[in-house]
Amino acid sequence: MGTDQYGRSVAICSVDRVDLGKRMVQAGLAVALPAYSQEYVADEQAAKAQQIGIWASEFEQPADYRAAHPQKALPQAPRHTGGPMPTIVPTSPRNEVYFRNCREARAAGYAPMYRGQPGYRPEMDGDNDGVACEPYRGR
């Protein structure tokens, strides 16, 4: 669609005509950016009302965090913690990430995992908030 004020691409990403940004907002894994499009605003409001994903807790808007922590917001390469690599098991026509437990997911650097992400399984989401293998929050 173009570029933003920082020169980053602004685009709609899709697979088989499924808008991935829309799906992420609906799953509570992303926020709508009304400055670029009103397309996802209603989806964000629905996810927020249902307390899905990020809306199940309190968080700082990504743009606000980046503005307050400019050095921390720089893109970083994915890291591997040196732990065992995830087990890849065929579960469908394509391979997906599978962890036997949260200890294995943490060792591989994949935790926490959010509903819809590779490796997420409801059995690993003890409080059913859409976040598996999350750090203990002392609730």
What value does the mean pLDDT take over residues 2-7? 75
- Residue 116 neighbours by CB under 8 Å, 6+ apart: 23, 24, 27, 29
Per residue in 92-133, pLDDT (tens digit) is 444 467 888 898 888 888 888 888 888 888 888 888 888 899
User: According to the model, what pLDDT value does residue 36 have?
Assistant: 80
What value does the mean pLDDT take over residues 34-62? 89
DSSP characters over 95-126:
EEEE-SSHHHHHHTT--SEETTSTT--GGG-T
**Length in residues, the chain:** 139
Cα 115 to Cα 103: distance, rounded to the nearest angstrom: 18
- How many angstroms separate the Cα of 51 from the Cα of each of 27, 59, 72? 10, 12, 27
**Residue 64 confidence (pLDDT) above 70:** yes
**Residue 32 confidence (pLDDT) above 70:** yes
